[in-house]
Structure 1
């Protein structure tokens, strides 16, 4: 990865045009060929970017330094006009091991897979960590009617988790062997906003009881 902090302007030319005036910015140039331009706000979201495959051409004409980032398939272009480079470094990050879930979340997945009938009588497990092009769905199972169901598991369920499951469902429903695929968003605690978004997307929310899945009786059992 190459990290560059520079005073630059950025022009995007493609299906639409956009211009970022001259200012100090962070430029990330990753090994996969992607280029993204960041300001010191907006959290992780870049101001502009170019996804791979793309090529970068650096040139200087009459003292004006430009970096042209051209997409290999669409021909869309980012043109960075560099006024001053404040920092320029490259780093080898190697192969990323990927996101690992915390202990409770991973254990929830294991327990729910083992006791899949928690979701309904007659339900069966297809497999855990069912791979898609954008990552693994926590659990793929079938309901009592044989319909495919994708389950995303979180310790605390928020809007990001619902969005993640939505993306998985879009891909899974393109597979004629599985479609139609329903979604279940399962967590120990689900935020109200996440429930509203899930309902709007046709996704069912299920609150998981960690102790019950582990077979631990409640300290204060009730008659009803």
Structure 2
């Protein structure tokens, strides 16, 4: 991973256009080719980013750019959509690279692990005719919680969370992009399953063709007390 702190401006060109004016920011370049632009705020969320597959080229500024104080121009191009993130560097304050090695992946907490086991045993909750292929189906970037097949025999990838937010949708999106390149699996549809799904996550998932499924953990464990409910 390469970490660069620089005075820079950022422009995104593609399906959407966005501009970040000149300011001091952290530029994070990951080994998978992605670039994330961070400020000193906003928690974990970057101001802008480009997801892989993408390529980075570094250009010399032209005369007008040099007069404006620009010393380097980074162009990050998305391979599939040709969207482009353009970073105009004015001054580099810090530049370091670190080999993080192979990440072991996110370790599920007890509830998420149990949800995965229960859903595998109650795969019919995905819909009539669904059958389990396996749990923890490994991809090049980590394991998908559940791989199943629907009533037509098509592949279904399921990502499980206790509380479903946008990060979980992004994670499932990356899995689906990889799995749909495999002719033995494609086409692969996605299901985002959680005990609670935030409205923003549901909107993003549905926009990407991912189905949302709210799971009743107590009912799946057989603890649902029907005598105490009105309905």
TM-score range, shorter chain: 0.5 to 0.7
* 2:24 match: 24
Q: Say which one has the larger Rg.
A: 1
Q: What pairs with 1:79-90 in structure 2 (closer than 5 Å)?
A: 83=91
For each residue in 1:60-109, what CA deviation from the matched residue of structure 2 results, as whole angstroms up to 9, or x when unmatched? xxxx99568798x9xx99887665x6566666645433222222112211
> Cα gap change, 1:212/1:87 in structure 2, threshold over 3 Å: closer, same or farther?
same
> Cα gap change, 1:116/1:9 in structure 2, threshold over 3 Å: closer, same or farther?
closer
Q: What pairs with 1:121-160 in structure 2 (closer than 5 Å)?
A: 121-160=128-167
Structure 1 unaligned regions, length at least 5: 13-17, 58-63
For each residue in 1:168-214, what CA deviation from the matched residue of structure 2 results, as whole angstroms up to 9, or x when unmatched? 33433333322333322211112344444444444332221212322
Residue 221 in 1 paired to residue 209 in 2? no
* 2:46 match: 45
State how far apart, in whole Å, the 2-side matches of 1:196 and 1:31 are: 30
Contact 1:25 1:39 in 2 (8 A): yes
* 1:191 match: 198
Contact 1:188 1:209 in 2 (8 A): yes
Q: Which residue, 121, 133, 142 being the options, matches 1:114? A: 121
> Cα gap change, 1:56/1:128 in structure 2, threshold over 3 Å: closer, same or farther?
same
- Secondary structure at the aligned position of 2:133 is classed as strand
> Cα gap change, 1:173/1:41 in structure 2, threshold over 3 Å: closer, same or farther?
same
Further displaced range: 37-46 or 169-178: 37-46
Residue 104 in 1 paired to residue 111 in 2? yes
- Give the TM-score taking structure 2 as reference length: 0.62
> Cα gap change, 1:42/1:125 in structure 2, threshold over 3 Å: closer, same or farther?
same
- Give the TM-score taking structure 1 as reference length: 0.64
